[in-house]
Chains A and B, each alone.
Chain A
Amino acid sequence: MAERYYTETHEWVTVQDSLATIGITEYAQAQLGDVVFLELPRVGKLLEAGDSFGVIESVKAASDLYSPVAGTVAEVNESLNATPELVNRDPYGEGWLIKVNLNGDLGQALLDEAGYRALTEGQSH
């Protein structure tokens, strides 16, 4: 299992053979509540690290999604069209959002598990 890295904006990324899988964290889905709609990029779209790649809309709020990595969108989770609640149910598994062909290495700005935990504990108290 590839190691998971995180952004301060609550996306996660794992990398296998220079293909990055991106989603939002358990913390983020809990904060958002029931997800009802996602606007995701088209396959082939070029992303810089930190670029907004879409919008996630829950009953509570609409939020921008930010790419943890630079690369080209290789795949979009189409099952979220019909069942956006997968993001709530399984944010690290079936609820993944996009896959990106990495352009170079992972950025330095990403948090590891411990760093992200420290961030969310700081925010929930």
Chain B
Amino acid sequence: MVGRRTPLYQQHVNACARLVDFAGWEMPQQYGSVKDEHMAVRTAAGLFDVSHMGRYEIRGPGAGEYLQRMLTNDLGRLAPDQAQYSLLCTPEGGIVDDLVAYRRGTDEWWVVVNAANREKDLAWLEQNAPAGIEIVDRSDEVSLLALQGPRAAELAPMQAVDLTAVPSFGIGRGQVAGVPFVISRTGYTGEDGFELFAPSHQVASLWEALVEAGAEPCGLAARDVCRLEAGLRLYGSDMDEDTNPYEAGLGWTVKLQKGEFIGRPALQRIKADGVRRQLIGLNGAGRTIPRHGSAVSVDGPVVGAVTSGTYSFWLQRGIAMAMIEAGAAPVGTTVEVQARTGSGQAEVVTMPFYRGSAHRAVRP
């Protein structure tokens, strides 16, 4: 089966990328070494094609109020040209998806959602939209690049963009190589950096200009290492509709006091009762990688399982997230993680595993 391809497919092929299926998309897993790509993001600037993610425009009178009822975070705090991480939840409080909401104008919003959830999210948004709210799928006509790393803002082509007007989670506009784009200071790596929304028919020129200026093309494998080191959850691995935000450690995105929204009564109850499971961070004792599904035990009994794990090139050890019985393993506890080579020890730690330059970026 041939997967869907982004407008940058030819660039990936020309760069000899190893292409893999991701949620039905033929995406670059790596161009060369995952380690080198990861290091580019941590120390310089990496460039990802993330056009497989869904981009929906939501507009019309009351678009903000509508999204406020759909999402868990408080959009009332957002001025135009500001973005926010948020969740869509079911009435039972399960996570439908995690996304970033962008306020582009008074009644104009965009959301960027996970590739695997594009159709599901669109159906969910449409099903709950009142008359007068328009939801437009912009995913085909607008492509998305992520330029990430402590030197991203210093790349020569970026000097033509007024980045002082784009603080962390801010939105601006720019043009590089004749390609106009909307730019936000957001990302999924833990580093300072940007996401660029560019017309699909021109995005190849933008990609090539950034690569020529020194941005390292990076694949999904490096992206996964970066996001795990930064403690960022991955939908489908670390959370799903059977997971609520409090279990996933995303309670900070739930603003119960903001007023009515889908899932609020259930989430209020869950918060009051306390969770039965919780997502924790694990530092492996060695280089062995805790893999998705591996059992986690404390002094014998199994208390949960690894939801995602990788080798951290930065910390030079295996790291993982695991969903375990609440309270079974507080920070500092040593647990056993089942692995191919027998069980290995890991220590429960607070996330993120690594704080990148995103924490030093200017906040609005």
Query: What CA separation (Å) do A37 and B288 show in the bound complex?
Result: 7
Against B, the Cβ 8 Å flags (1 = close, 0 = not) of A85-98 are 10010000000000
Known contacts A36-B311, A37-B311, A59 near B288 by CB under 8 Å: no
Q: B287–A36 contact, CB under 8 A?
A: yes
Known contacts A34-B34, A37-B311, A88-B33, A59 near B289 by CB under 8 Å: yes
Q: A55–B35 contact, CB under 8 A?
A: no
Q: B289–A37 contact, CB under 8 A?
A: yes
Chain B residues near A33: list those with CB within 8 A: 18, 29-30, 34, 221
Name the distance in Å between B40's Cβ and chain A's nearest Cβ.
14
Question: What residue in chain A is nearest B286 (Cβ atoms)?
Answer: A37
Query: What CA separation (Å) do A55 and B225 show in the bound complex?
Result: 21
Query: What CA separation (Å) do A88 and B30 show in the bound complex?
Result: 14
Query: What CA separation (Å) do A34 and B225 show in the bound complex?
Result: 12
Residues of A within 8 A of B (CB-CB), count: 15
Chain B residues near A85: list those with CB within 8 A: 33, 35
Q: A39–B311 contact, CB under 8 A?
A: no
B340 contacts which of A36, A60, A62, A88 (Cβ < 8 Å)?
A62
Query: What CA separation (Å) do A40 and B79 show in the bound complex?
Result: 58
A59 contacts which of B225, B286, B339 (Cβ < 8 Å)?
B225
Chain A residues near B221: list those with CB within 8 A: 33-34, 59-60
Query: What CA separation (Å) do A57 and B294 show in the bound complex?
Result: 15
Query: What CA separation (Å) do A64 and B340 show in the bound complex?
Result: 9
Question: What residue in chain A is nearest B221 (Cβ atoms)?
Answer: A59
Residues of A within 8 A of B (CB): 30, 33-34, 36-37, 39, 55, 57, 59-60, 62, 64, 84-85, 88
A-B CB proximity, top 10 nearest: A37-B287, A62-B340, A36-B311, A34-B34, A55-B341, A34-B35, A39-B341, A59-B34, A36-B287, A55-B340
Q: Can you list 14 A-B pairs with a CB-CB distance of less than 8 A?
A: A33-B30, A33-B34, A33-B221, A34-B30, A34-B35, A34-B311, A36-B287, A36-B289, A37-B289, A57-B288, A57-B311, A59-B221, A62-B341, A84-B287
Residues of B within 8 A of A (CB): 18, 29-30, 33-35, 221, 225, 286-289, 291, 310-311, 339-341
